[in-house]
Structure 1
Protein backbone atom coordinates (compact mmCIF):
# COMPACT_ATOMS: atom_id res chain seq x y z
CA UNK A 1 0.00 0.00 0.00
CA UNK A 2 2.83 2.39 0.75
CA UNK A 3 4.52 1.81 -2.59
CA UNK A 4 1.37 2.32 -4.66
CA UNK A 5 0.53 5.51 -2.76
CA UNK A 6 4.01 7.00 -3.23
CA UNK A 7 4.17 6.51 -6.98
CA UNK A 8 1.44 9.02 -7.93
CA UNK A 9 2.88 11.48 -5.44
CA UNK A 10 6.36 11.16 -6.94
CA UNK A 11 4.98 11.44 -10.45
CA UNK A 12 3.07 14.59 -9.51
CA UNK A 13 6.19 16.22 -8.12
CA UNK A 14 8.13 15.32 -11.24
CA UNK A 15 5.43 16.85 -13.44
CA UNK A 16 5.31 20.08 -11.44
CA UNK A 17 9.08 20.61 -11.53
CA UNK A 18 9.31 21.38 -15.31
CA UNK A 19 6.36 23.70 -15.04
CA UNK A 20 8.06 25.70 -12.30
CA UNK A 21 11.28 25.87 -14.29
CA UNK A 22 9.33 27.02 -17.33
CA UNK A 23 8.00 30.04 -15.44
CA UNK A 24 11.44 31.53 -14.70
CA UNK A 25 11.87 33.20 -18.12
CA UNK A 26 8.50 34.89 -17.73
CA UNK A 27 9.35 35.99 -14.18
CA UNK A 28 12.71 37.35 -15.36
CA UNK A 29 11.03 39.25 -18.21
CA UNK A 30 8.47 40.77 -15.84
CA UNK A 31 11.23 41.74 -13.43
CA UNK A 32 13.16 43.54 -16.18
CA UNK A 33 10.03 45.35 -17.34
CA UNK A 34 9.25 46.37 -13.75
CA UNK A 35 12.74 47.83 -13.32
CA UNK A 36 12.44 49.75 -16.60
CA UNK A 37 9.05 51.10 -15.48
CA UNK A 38 10.18 52.18 -12.03
CA UNK A 39 13.57 53.57 -13.13
CA UNK A 40 12.25 57.01 -14.28
CA UNK A 41 10.46 57.51 -10.97
CA UNK A 42 13.60 56.57 -9.03
CA UNK A 43 15.64 59.00 -11.13
CA UNK A 44 13.06 61.74 -10.51
CA UNK A 45 13.22 61.11 -6.76
CA UNK A 46 17.03 61.11 -6.73
CA UNK A 47 17.20 64.40 -8.64
CA UNK A 48 14.56 65.87 -6.30
CA UNK A 49 16.70 64.96 -3.26
CA UNK A 50 19.94 66.29 -4.74
CA UNK A 51 21.15 69.61 -3.26
CA UNK A 52 20.69 72.56 -5.60
CA UNK A 53 23.68 73.21 -7.82
CA UNK A 54 25.25 69.79 -7.21
CA UNK A 55 25.90 67.33 -10.07
CA UNK A 56 23.29 64.60 -10.31
CA UNK A 57 21.73 62.17 -12.76
CA UNK A 58 22.19 61.45 -15.60
CA UNK A 59 25.85 62.54 -15.43
CA UNK A 60 26.68 61.03 -12.03
CA UNK A 61 25.15 59.75 -8.83
CA UNK A 62 24.85 62.56 -6.23
CA UNK A 63 27.26 62.56 -3.28
CA UNK A 64 24.58 63.53 -0.76
CA UNK A 65 20.81 63.82 -0.51
CA UNK A 66 18.66 66.45 1.19
CA UNK A 67 15.01 67.32 1.79
CA UNK A 68 15.56 71.05 1.24
CA UNK A 69 14.06 70.97 -2.27
CA UNK A 70 10.85 69.33 -1.07
CA UNK A 71 10.62 71.79 1.81
CA UNK A 72 11.07 74.77 -0.50
CA UNK A 73 8.42 73.43 -2.87
CA UNK A 74 5.87 72.91 -0.12
CA UNK A 75 6.52 76.39 1.25
CA UNK A 76 6.54 78.12 -2.14
CA UNK A 77 3.75 80.55 -2.94
CA UNK A 78 1.25 79.15 -5.38
CA UNK A 79 2.15 75.47 -5.11
CA UNK A 80 -0.24 74.66 -2.27
CA UNK A 81 -3.02 76.62 -3.98
CA UNK A 82 -2.42 74.78 -7.26
CA UNK A 83 -2.56 71.45 -5.41
CA UNK A 84 -5.85 72.36 -3.73
CA UNK A 85 -7.29 73.43 -7.07
CA UNK A 86 -6.27 70.12 -8.64
CA UNK A 87 -7.85 68.21 -5.76
CA UNK A 88 -11.09 70.17 -6.08
CA UNK A 89 -11.12 69.69 -9.84
CA UNK A 90 -10.39 65.95 -9.61
CA UNK A 91 -12.47 64.94 -6.59
CA UNK A 92 -15.64 66.81 -7.56
CA UNK A 93 -15.37 65.48 -11.12
CA UNK A 94 -14.95 61.92 -9.85
CA UNK A 95 -17.99 62.12 -7.57
CA UNK A 96 -20.29 63.63 -10.20
CA UNK A 97 -19.10 61.33 -12.99
CA UNK A 98 -19.56 58.22 -10.84
CA UNK A 99 -23.12 59.21 -9.96
CA UNK A 100 -24.19 60.21 -13.45
CA UNK A 101 -22.35 57.36 -15.21
CA UNK A 102 -23.82 54.72 -12.88
CA UNK A 103 -27.34 56.11 -13.37
CA UNK A 104 -26.92 56.28 -17.14
CA UNK A 105 -25.33 52.83 -17.23
CA UNK A 106 -28.23 51.38 -15.24
CA UNK A 107 -30.75 52.98 -17.59
CA UNK A 108 -28.97 51.77 -20.74
CA UNK A 109 -28.45 48.25 -19.32
CA UNK A 110 -31.71 47.39 -17.56
CA UNK A 111 -34.39 49.85 -18.67
CA UNK A 112 -36.35 49.65 -21.90
CA UNK A 113 -37.41 52.87 -23.64
CA UNK A 114 -37.76 54.00 -27.27
CA UNK A 115 -34.45 54.85 -28.93
CA UNK A 116 -32.33 53.40 -26.13
CA UNK A 117 -29.79 51.64 -28.34
CA UNK A 118 -29.60 54.50 -30.84
CA UNK A 119 -29.05 56.98 -28.02
CA UNK A 120 -26.38 54.81 -26.43
CA UNK A 121 -24.37 54.26 -29.61
CA UNK A 122 -24.69 57.92 -30.55
CA UNK A 123 -23.38 58.91 -27.15
CA UNK A 124 -20.63 56.32 -27.47
CA UNK A 125 -19.65 57.70 -30.89
CA UNK A 126 -18.47 60.89 -29.20
CA UNK A 127 -15.43 58.91 -28.07
CA UNK A 128 -14.24 59.04 -31.68
CA UNK A 129 -14.21 62.85 -31.70
CA UNK A 130 -10.89 64.25 -30.40
CA UNK A 131 -11.14 66.84 -27.66
CA UNK A 132 -9.05 69.27 -29.71
CA UNK A 133 -11.85 69.42 -32.29
CA UNK A 134 -14.38 70.61 -29.70
CA UNK A 135 -12.00 72.76 -27.66
CA UNK A 136 -12.76 76.09 -29.35
CA UNK A 137 -16.58 75.67 -29.46
CA UNK A 138 -16.57 74.58 -25.81
CA UNK A 139 -14.44 77.55 -24.79
CA UNK A 140 -16.70 79.96 -26.71
CA UNK A 141 -19.75 78.51 -24.97
CA UNK A 142 -18.16 78.65 -21.50
CA UNK A 143 -16.91 82.18 -22.15
CA UNK A 144 -20.38 83.35 -23.21
CA UNK A 145 -21.69 82.04 -19.88
CA UNK A 146 -18.94 83.83 -17.93
CA UNK A 147 -17.38 80.51 -16.93
CA UNK A 148 -13.76 81.33 -17.77
CA UNK A 149 -11.50 81.34 -14.70
CA UNK A 150 -14.19 79.69 -12.57
CA UNK A 151 -14.39 76.21 -11.08
CA UNK A 152 -17.73 75.39 -12.66
CA UNK A 153 -16.37 76.35 -16.07
CA UNK A 154 -13.41 74.08 -15.38
CA UNK A 155 -15.45 71.09 -14.19
CA UNK A 156 -18.80 71.03 -16.02
CA UNK A 157 -17.53 70.53 -19.62
CA UNK A 158 -15.61 67.40 -18.54
CA UNK A 159 -18.55 65.62 -16.88
CA UNK A 160 -20.07 64.04 -20.02
CA UNK A 161 -17.77 61.03 -19.94
CA UNK A 162 -18.86 58.45 -22.51
CA UNK A 163 -16.15 55.99 -21.49
CA UNK A 164 -17.44 55.95 -17.92
CA UNK A 165 -21.02 55.34 -19.10
CA UNK A 166 -19.84 52.52 -21.37
CA UNK A 167 -17.92 50.77 -18.59
CA UNK A 168 -20.81 51.09 -16.14
CA UNK A 169 -23.32 49.83 -18.69
CA UNK A 170 -21.22 46.79 -19.57
CA UNK A 171 -20.76 45.92 -15.90
CA UNK A 172 -24.43 46.33 -15.00
CA UNK A 173 -25.42 44.13 -17.96
CA UNK A 174 -23.83 41.22 -16.10
CA UNK A 175 -25.99 41.70 -13.00
CA UNK A 176 -28.86 39.18 -12.68
CA UNK A 177 -32.22 40.48 -13.89
CA UNK A 178 -33.90 38.55 -11.06
CA UNK A 179 -32.63 41.09 -8.53
CA UNK A 180 -34.36 43.95 -10.31
CA UNK A 181 -37.52 41.91 -10.92
CA UNK A 182 -37.71 41.03 -7.22
CA UNK A 183 -37.31 44.68 -6.29
CA UNK A 184 -40.16 45.64 -8.62
CA UNK A 185 -42.38 42.96 -7.10
CA UNK A 186 -41.65 44.35 -3.64
CA UNK A 187 -42.72 47.80 -4.87
CA UNK A 188 -39.29 49.44 -4.67
CA UNK A 189 -38.93 52.78 -6.41
CA UNK A 190 -36.28 53.43 -9.03
CA UNK A 191 -34.26 55.47 -6.54
CA UNK A 192 -34.35 52.64 -4.01
CA UNK A 193 -33.35 50.09 -6.66
CA UNK A 194 -30.43 52.29 -7.60
CA UNK A 195 -29.30 52.86 -4.00
CA UNK A 196 -29.81 49.32 -2.67
CA UNK A 197 -28.91 47.18 -5.71
CA UNK A 198 -26.96 49.11 -8.31
CA UNK A 199 -24.63 51.06 -6.03
CA UNK A 200 -23.58 48.16 -3.73
CA UNK A 201 -23.03 45.71 -6.61
CA UNK A 202 -21.05 48.18 -8.72
CA UNK A 203 -18.55 49.20 -6.05
CA UNK A 204 -15.64 47.37 -7.73
CA UNK A 205 -16.17 49.02 -11.11
CA UNK A 206 -16.87 52.35 -9.41
CA UNK A 207 -13.54 52.14 -7.59
CA UNK A 208 -11.74 51.25 -10.82
CA UNK A 209 -13.48 54.02 -12.71
CA UNK A 210 -12.79 56.44 -9.87
CA UNK A 211 -9.06 55.76 -10.13
CA UNK A 212 -9.07 56.31 -13.89
CA UNK A 213 -11.18 59.48 -13.75
CA UNK A 214 -9.06 60.91 -10.93
CA UNK A 215 -5.88 60.31 -12.92
CA UNK A 216 -7.44 61.79 -16.07
CA UNK A 217 -8.39 65.00 -14.29
CA UNK A 218 -5.30 65.22 -12.09
CA UNK A 219 -3.03 64.99 -15.14
CA UNK A 220 -5.29 67.06 -17.40
CA UNK A 221 -3.45 69.99 -18.92
CA UNK A 222 -5.07 71.44 -22.04
CA UNK A 223 -8.52 72.39 -20.71
CA UNK A 224 -7.23 73.77 -17.36
CA UNK A 225 -4.64 75.76 -19.32
CA UNK A 226 -7.37 77.38 -21.42
CA UNK A 227 -9.91 78.04 -18.66
CA UNK A 228 -7.76 78.59 -15.56
CA UNK A 229 -6.17 81.95 -16.25
CA UNK A 230 -5.17 82.90 -12.69
CA UNK A 231 -3.75 81.23 -9.60
CA UNK A 232 -7.27 81.08 -8.14
CA UNK A 233 -8.24 78.31 -10.59
CA UNK A 234 -4.87 77.18 -11.96
CA UNK A 235 -4.21 73.46 -11.46
CA UNK A 236 -0.94 71.83 -10.51
CA UNK A 237 -0.07 70.62 -14.01
CA UNK A 238 -0.47 74.13 -15.41
CA UNK A 239 1.34 75.71 -12.47
CA UNK A 240 4.36 73.46 -12.90
CA UNK A 241 4.75 74.59 -16.50
CA UNK A 242 4.93 78.20 -15.34
CA UNK A 243 7.93 77.25 -13.20
CA UNK A 244 9.79 76.17 -16.33
CA UNK A 245 9.71 79.73 -17.63
CA UNK A 246 11.41 80.97 -14.46
CA UNK A 247 14.94 80.48 -13.18
CA UNK A 248 14.20 77.31 -11.24
CA UNK A 249 16.73 74.59 -10.49
CA UNK A 250 16.10 71.18 -12.04
CA UNK A 251 16.14 69.59 -8.59
CA UNK A 252 13.37 71.93 -7.41
CA UNK A 253 11.31 71.17 -10.52
CA UNK A 254 11.72 67.42 -9.94
CA UNK A 255 10.73 67.93 -6.30
CA UNK A 256 7.52 69.58 -7.51
CA UNK A 257 6.84 66.65 -9.85
CA UNK A 258 7.50 64.20 -7.00
CA UNK A 259 4.98 65.91 -4.74
CA UNK A 260 2.41 65.94 -7.55
CA UNK A 261 2.70 62.16 -7.95
CA UNK A 262 1.92 61.44 -4.28
CA UNK A 263 -1.90 61.91 -4.49
CA UNK A 264 -2.07 59.55 -7.48
CA UNK A 265 -0.19 56.87 -5.56
CA UNK A 266 -2.39 57.32 -2.50
CA UNK A 267 -5.58 56.96 -4.54
CA UNK A 268 -4.24 53.84 -6.24
CA UNK A 269 -3.15 52.12 -3.01
CA UNK A 270 -6.40 52.99 -1.22
CA UNK A 271 -8.54 51.55 -4.02
CA UNK A 272 -6.19 48.77 -5.12
CA UNK A 273 -8.33 46.05 -3.52
CA UNK A 274 -11.43 47.14 -5.43
CA UNK A 275 -9.38 47.47 -8.62
CA UNK A 276 -8.20 43.86 -8.36
CA UNK A 277 -11.71 42.65 -7.56
CA UNK A 278 -13.19 44.37 -10.61
CA UNK A 279 -10.59 42.73 -12.86
CA UNK A 280 -11.21 39.33 -11.24
CA UNK A 281 -14.98 39.67 -11.69
CA UNK A 282 -14.71 40.52 -15.39
CA UNK A 283 -16.56 37.93 -17.46
CA UNK A 284 -18.55 36.46 -14.53
CA UNK A 285 -22.30 36.80 -14.20
Structure 2
Protein backbone atom coordinates (compact mmCIF):
# COMPACT_ATOMS: atom_id res chain seq x y z
CA UNK A 1 0.00 0.00 0.00
CA UNK A 2 1.48 3.27 -1.04
CA UNK A 3 0.82 6.64 0.62
CA UNK A 4 0.34 9.64 -1.69
CA UNK A 5 1.88 12.79 -0.37
CA UNK A 6 0.44 16.07 -1.67
CA UNK A 7 2.50 19.18 -1.57
CA UNK A 8 0.74 22.49 -0.92
CA UNK A 9 0.62 24.95 -3.82
CA UNK A 10 3.14 27.75 -3.68
CA UNK A 11 2.00 30.95 -2.00
CA UNK A 12 0.81 33.61 -4.37
CA UNK A 13 3.25 36.42 -4.67
CA UNK A 14 1.83 39.96 -4.74
CA UNK A 15 2.02 41.70 -8.06
CA UNK A 16 4.94 44.02 -8.39
CA UNK A 17 4.13 47.65 -7.74
CA UNK A 18 4.82 50.04 -10.47
CA UNK A 19 7.65 52.35 -9.60
CA UNK A 20 7.76 55.79 -11.16
CA UNK A 21 10.34 56.32 -13.75
CA UNK A 22 13.51 57.99 -12.62
CA UNK A 23 13.41 61.75 -13.04
CA UNK A 24 9.62 61.90 -13.57
CA UNK A 25 7.65 64.01 -11.03
CA UNK A 26 4.24 62.91 -9.78
CA UNK A 27 1.39 64.45 -11.72
CA UNK A 28 -0.37 67.36 -9.97
CA UNK A 29 -4.08 67.29 -9.41
CA UNK A 30 -6.21 69.68 -11.44
CA UNK A 31 -7.14 71.80 -8.40
CA UNK A 32 -3.55 72.54 -7.32
CA UNK A 33 -2.29 75.80 -8.85
CA UNK A 34 1.05 75.91 -10.56
CA UNK A 35 4.02 77.85 -9.30
CA UNK A 36 3.35 80.65 -11.77
CA UNK A 37 -0.28 80.85 -10.63
CA UNK A 38 0.78 81.14 -6.99
CA UNK A 39 3.25 83.90 -7.79
CA UNK A 40 0.64 85.79 -9.81
CA UNK A 41 -1.85 85.46 -6.95
CA UNK A 42 0.63 86.77 -4.39
CA UNK A 43 1.53 89.69 -6.64
CA UNK A 44 -2.13 90.66 -7.09
CA UNK A 45 -2.80 90.39 -3.35
CA UNK A 46 0.30 92.45 -2.55
CA UNK A 47 -0.77 95.19 -4.99
CA UNK A 48 -4.28 95.21 -3.52
CA UNK A 49 -2.81 95.52 -0.01
CA UNK A 50 -0.58 98.42 -1.09
CA UNK A 51 -3.48 100.24 -2.74
CA UNK A 52 -5.63 99.73 0.36
CA UNK A 53 -3.01 100.82 2.89
CA UNK A 54 -1.60 103.74 0.90
CA UNK A 55 -4.31 106.30 1.88
CA UNK A 56 -3.73 105.55 5.56
CA UNK A 57 0.01 105.80 5.10
CA UNK A 58 -0.37 109.14 3.34
CA UNK A 59 -2.70 110.43 6.07
CA UNK A 60 -0.27 109.53 8.86
CA UNK A 61 2.87 110.78 7.08
CA UNK A 62 1.33 114.09 6.02
CA UNK A 63 -0.01 114.64 9.54
CA UNK A 64 3.56 114.32 10.86
CA UNK A 65 4.93 116.81 8.33
CA UNK A 66 5.42 120.50 9.21
CA UNK A 67 2.81 123.02 8.10
CA UNK A 68 4.21 123.82 4.68
CA UNK A 69 3.26 123.45 1.07
CA UNK A 70 2.79 119.83 0.05
CA UNK A 71 4.77 118.60 -2.90
CA UNK A 72 4.07 115.19 -4.37
CA UNK A 73 5.68 112.70 -4.21
CA UNK A 74 8.41 114.26 -2.03
CA UNK A 75 6.00 114.94 0.84
CA UNK A 76 5.11 111.26 1.09
CA UNK A 77 8.64 110.28 2.10
CA UNK A 78 8.98 109.56 5.84
CA UNK A 79 11.47 112.36 6.49
CA UNK A 80 11.39 115.48 8.67
CA UNK A 81 8.59 114.10 10.84
CA UNK A 82 7.25 115.65 14.02
CA UNK A 83 4.26 115.60 16.36
CA UNK A 84 3.59 119.32 16.36
CA UNK A 85 0.24 118.98 14.55
CA UNK A 86 -0.99 116.41 17.08
CA UNK A 87 0.02 118.64 19.99
CA UNK A 88 -1.88 121.58 18.53
CA UNK A 89 -4.96 119.47 17.79
CA UNK A 90 -5.04 117.89 21.25
CA UNK A 91 -4.50 121.24 22.93
CA UNK A 92 -7.42 122.79 21.06
CA UNK A 93 -10.53 123.30 23.14
CA UNK A 94 -12.99 121.50 20.88
CA UNK A 95 -11.28 118.23 20.03
CA UNK A 96 -11.74 116.73 23.50
CA UNK A 97 -15.43 117.58 23.61
CA UNK A 98 -15.96 116.24 20.09
CA UNK A 99 -14.19 113.01 21.01
CA UNK A 100 -16.33 112.49 24.12
CA UNK A 101 -19.51 113.24 22.17
CA UNK A 102 -18.57 110.74 19.48
CA UNK A 103 -17.67 108.09 22.05
CA UNK A 104 -20.98 108.50 23.88
CA UNK A 105 -22.93 108.52 20.62
CA UNK A 106 -21.24 105.36 19.35
CA UNK A 107 -21.04 103.34 22.59
CA UNK A 108 -24.59 103.96 23.75
CA UNK A 109 -25.96 103.31 20.26
CA UNK A 110 -24.07 100.00 20.01
CA UNK A 111 -25.42 98.74 23.34
CA UNK A 112 -28.99 99.86 22.59
CA UNK A 113 -29.04 98.58 19.00
CA UNK A 114 -27.62 95.19 19.97
CA UNK A 115 -30.07 94.79 22.84
CA UNK A 116 -33.15 95.80 20.85
CA UNK A 117 -32.19 93.85 17.74
CA UNK A 118 -31.42 90.71 19.78
CA UNK A 119 -34.80 90.82 21.51
CA UNK A 120 -36.64 91.53 18.26
CA UNK A 121 -34.69 88.85 16.39
CA UNK A 122 -35.48 86.29 19.10
CA UNK A 123 -39.17 87.13 18.97
CA UNK A 124 -39.35 86.95 15.17
CA UNK A 125 -37.33 83.72 15.04
CA UNK A 126 -38.67 81.57 17.88
CA UNK A 127 -42.03 83.00 18.92
CA UNK A 128 -45.42 82.38 17.32
CA UNK A 129 -47.90 85.24 17.37
CA UNK A 130 -50.51 86.58 14.93
CA UNK A 131 -49.13 88.82 12.21
CA UNK A 132 -45.52 87.87 12.86
CA UNK A 133 -44.49 87.56 9.22
CA UNK A 134 -46.40 90.66 8.16
CA UNK A 135 -44.86 92.69 10.96
CA UNK A 136 -41.36 91.42 10.21
CA UNK A 137 -41.43 92.09 6.47
CA UNK A 138 -43.08 95.48 7.03
CA UNK A 139 -40.28 96.38 9.41
CA UNK A 140 -37.69 95.05 6.99
CA UNK A 141 -39.17 97.24 4.25
CA UNK A 142 -37.58 100.19 6.07
CA UNK A 143 -34.32 99.15 4.42
CA UNK A 144 -35.80 100.13 1.05
CA UNK A 145 -36.47 103.70 2.24
CA UNK A 146 -33.47 105.98 1.64
CA UNK A 147 -31.97 107.36 4.83
CA UNK A 148 -32.03 110.95 3.58
CA UNK A 149 -35.80 110.85 2.95
CA UNK A 150 -36.51 110.50 6.66
CA UNK A 151 -34.14 113.24 7.83
CA UNK A 152 -36.60 116.15 7.67
CA UNK A 153 -39.54 114.36 9.38
CA UNK A 154 -37.21 112.97 12.04
CA UNK A 155 -35.68 116.39 12.66
CA UNK A 156 -39.12 117.98 13.05
CA UNK A 157 -40.22 115.33 15.55
CA UNK A 158 -37.01 115.59 17.60
CA UNK A 159 -37.11 119.40 17.53
CA UNK A 160 -40.75 119.50 18.73
CA UNK A 161 -39.85 117.07 21.52
CA UNK A 162 -36.97 119.31 22.64
CA UNK A 163 -34.19 117.01 21.53
CA UNK A 164 -31.95 119.55 19.78
CA UNK A 165 -28.46 119.77 21.27
CA UNK A 166 -29.10 116.75 23.49
CA UNK A 167 -27.61 113.29 23.61
CA UNK A 168 -30.96 111.52 23.51
CA UNK A 169 -31.97 113.51 20.43
CA UNK A 170 -28.72 112.42 18.79
CA UNK A 171 -29.03 108.74 19.72
CA UNK A 172 -32.76 107.90 19.73
CA UNK A 173 -33.54 108.09 15.96
CA UNK A 174 -30.72 105.65 15.11
CA UNK A 175 -31.84 102.79 17.34
CA UNK A 176 -34.41 101.24 14.98
CA UNK A 177 -31.98 99.25 12.81
CA UNK A 178 -33.85 96.92 10.45
CA UNK A 179 -30.67 95.31 9.11
CA UNK A 180 -29.54 94.37 12.62
CA UNK A 181 -32.94 92.83 13.38
CA UNK A 182 -32.83 90.82 10.14
CA UNK A 183 -29.35 89.45 10.80
CA UNK A 184 -30.19 88.55 14.40
CA UNK A 185 -33.35 86.74 13.26
CA UNK A 186 -31.43 84.75 10.65
CA UNK A 187 -28.81 83.73 13.20
CA UNK A 188 -31.27 82.77 15.95
CA UNK A 189 -33.40 80.73 13.53
CA UNK A 190 -30.49 78.29 13.19
CA UNK A 191 -30.33 77.66 16.93
CA UNK A 192 -31.87 74.28 17.87
CA UNK A 193 -35.37 74.44 19.33
CA UNK A 194 -34.51 71.65 21.78
CA UNK A 195 -32.47 74.10 23.86
CA UNK A 196 -35.45 76.37 24.41
CA UNK A 197 -37.84 73.49 25.04
CA UNK A 198 -35.49 72.02 27.64
CA UNK A 199 -35.18 75.38 29.36
CA UNK A 200 -38.97 75.76 29.48
CA UNK A 201 -39.31 72.28 30.99
CA UNK A 202 -36.85 73.30 33.70
CA UNK A 203 -39.08 76.28 34.52
CA UNK A 204 -36.91 79.03 33.06
CA UNK A 205 -38.66 82.31 32.26
CA UNK A 206 -38.46 84.01 28.89
CA UNK A 207 -36.04 86.59 30.22
CA UNK A 208 -33.84 83.84 31.72
CA UNK A 209 -33.85 81.96 28.40
CA UNK A 210 -32.92 85.11 26.52
CA UNK A 211 -30.07 86.04 28.87
CA UNK A 212 -28.70 82.54 29.55
CA UNK A 213 -29.15 80.85 26.16
CA UNK A 214 -29.74 83.32 23.36
CA UNK A 215 -27.16 85.97 24.18
CA UNK A 216 -24.24 83.58 24.90
CA UNK A 217 -24.87 81.67 21.68
CA UNK A 218 -25.11 84.91 19.70
CA UNK A 219 -21.65 86.20 20.60
CA UNK A 220 -20.28 85.94 17.01
CA UNK A 221 -23.13 87.86 15.40
CA UNK A 222 -23.26 90.35 18.28
CA UNK A 223 -19.56 91.10 17.83
CA UNK A 224 -20.01 91.47 14.07
CA UNK A 225 -23.03 93.73 14.38
CA UNK A 226 -21.38 95.69 17.17
CA UNK A 227 -18.42 96.42 14.93
CA UNK A 228 -20.64 97.52 12.05
CA UNK A 229 -22.86 99.70 14.25
CA UNK A 230 -19.86 101.28 15.97
CA UNK A 231 -18.24 102.12 12.63
CA UNK A 232 -21.45 103.58 11.27
CA UNK A 233 -22.06 105.83 14.28
CA UNK A 234 -18.43 106.83 14.67
CA UNK A 235 -18.27 107.95 11.03
CA UNK A 236 -21.78 109.41 10.92
CA UNK A 237 -21.76 113.00 9.72
CA UNK A 238 -25.15 114.16 8.44
CA UNK A 239 -27.40 113.51 11.44
CA UNK A 240 -24.94 114.90 14.05
CA UNK A 241 -24.52 117.97 11.84
CA UNK A 242 -28.27 118.56 11.72
CA UNK A 243 -29.11 117.83 15.34
CA UNK A 244 -26.13 119.66 16.86
CA UNK A 245 -26.90 123.37 16.78
CA UNK A 246 -23.81 124.33 18.78
CA UNK A 247 -20.19 123.22 18.77
CA UNK A 248 -20.50 121.65 22.24
CA UNK A 249 -22.57 118.78 20.78
CA UNK A 250 -20.59 118.20 17.61
CA UNK A 251 -18.94 114.87 16.87
CA UNK A 252 -15.45 114.35 15.50
CA UNK A 253 -16.61 114.13 11.90
CA UNK A 254 -18.48 117.42 12.14
CA UNK A 255 -15.70 119.13 14.07
CA UNK A 256 -12.93 118.02 11.71
CA UNK A 257 -15.05 119.06 8.73
CA UNK A 258 -15.43 122.53 10.26
CA UNK A 259 -11.65 122.87 10.41
CA UNK A 260 -11.53 122.81 6.61
CA UNK A 261 -13.59 126.01 6.53
CA UNK A 262 -11.10 127.76 8.80
CA UNK A 263 -7.51 128.78 8.26
CA UNK A 264 -6.16 125.50 9.60
CA UNK A 265 -3.11 123.74 8.09
CA UNK A 266 -3.63 120.45 6.33
CA UNK A 267 -1.39 118.56 8.74
CA UNK A 268 -3.70 119.48 11.65
CA UNK A 269 -6.76 118.28 9.74
CA UNK A 270 -5.04 114.98 8.95
CA UNK A 271 -3.88 114.68 12.55
CA UNK A 272 -7.49 114.96 13.69
CA UNK A 273 -8.52 112.36 11.11
CA UNK A 274 -5.80 110.01 12.38
CA UNK A 275 -6.96 110.43 15.97
CA UNK A 276 -10.53 109.62 14.94
CA UNK A 277 -9.32 106.49 13.13
CA UNK A 278 -7.60 104.94 16.16
CA UNK A 279 -10.81 103.95 18.07
CA UNK A 280 -12.25 102.34 14.91
CA UNK A 281 -9.14 100.22 14.47
CA UNK A 282 -9.14 99.31 18.16
CA UNK A 283 -12.80 98.23 17.99
CA UNK A 284 -12.02 95.91 15.10
CA UNK A 285 -9.06 94.38 16.94
CA UNK A 286 -11.24 93.65 19.94
CA UNK A 287 -14.00 91.97 17.89
CA UNK A 288 -11.94 90.29 15.19
CA UNK A 289 -11.94 86.86 16.90
CA UNK A 290 -15.72 86.69 16.40
CA UNK A 291 -15.89 88.71 13.20
CA UNK A 292 -15.28 85.99 10.59
CA UNK A 293 -17.47 83.47 12.38
CA UNK A 294 -20.32 85.96 12.63
CA UNK A 295 -20.08 86.90 8.97
CA UNK A 296 -20.09 83.26 7.91
CA UNK A 297 -23.00 82.14 10.10
CA UNK A 298 -25.32 85.15 9.88
CA UNK A 299 -26.03 85.12 6.15
CA UNK A 300 -24.06 88.24 5.19
CA UNK A 301 -22.27 86.15 2.63
CA UNK A 302 -25.54 85.95 0.67
Q: Same fold (TM over 0.5)?
A: yes
Distance 1:148 1:50 in 2: 39
Three-state SS of the structure 2 residue aligned to 1:78 is helix
Question: Who is 1:71 aligned against?
Answer: 87
Structure 2 counterpart of 1:263, from 267, 279, 282: 279
1:122-143 Cα distance to aligned partner (Å, 9 max, x none): 0000011112111111111001
1:174-232 Cα distance to aligned partner (Å, 9 max, x none): 11111111111111100010011100000000000000000000010111000011222
Three-state SS of the structure 1 residue aligned to 2:248 is coil
Query: 1:4-153 to 2 correspondence within 5 Å?
Result: 14-15=27-28, 19=33, 21=35, 22-53=37-68, 55-58=70-73, 60-62=75-77, 63-153=79-169
Distance 2:214 2:187 in 1: 10
Three-state SS of the structure 2 residue aligned to 1:113 is coil
Structure 2 counterpart of 1:185, from 201, 206, 213: 201
Task: Indicate conservation of the 8 Å contact 1:47/1:56, yes or no.
Answer: no
Distance 1:274 1:183 in 2: 26
Task: Indicate conservation of the 8 Å contact 1:43/1:57, yes or no.
Answer: no
Distance 1:101 1:47 in 2: 41
| Greater fraction helix | 1
Cα 1:187–1:61, aligned 2, differ >3 Å: closer, same or farther?
closer
Larger radius of gyration: 2
Task: Indicate conservation of the 8 Å contact 1:50/1:56, yes or no.
Answer: no
Task: Indicate conservation of the 8 Å contact 1:221/1:238, yes or no.
Answer: yes
Distance 1:211 1:112 in 2: 31
The reply on whether 1:208 has 2:238 as its aligned counterpart is: no
Question: Who is 1:252 aligned against?
Answer: 268
- After TM superposition, the runs of 4+ consecutive aligned structure 1 residues lying more than 6 A away are 10-13
Instruction: Output the TM-score relative to the length of structure 2.
Output: 0.87
Deviation at 1:27, TM superposition (A): 2.5
Query: 1:271-282 to 2 correspondence within 5 Å?
Result: 271-281=287-297
Distance 1:146 1:12 in 2: 79
Task: Indicate conservation of the 8 Å contact 2:89/2:272, yes or no.
Answer: yes
Three-state SS of the structure 2 residue aligned to 1:114 is coil
Deviation at 1:24, TM superposition (A): 2.9
Distance 1:229 1:11 in 2: 78
What count of residue pairs does the alignment treat as equivalent? 280
Task: Indicate conservation of the 8 Å contact 2:62/2:76, yes or no.
Answer: no
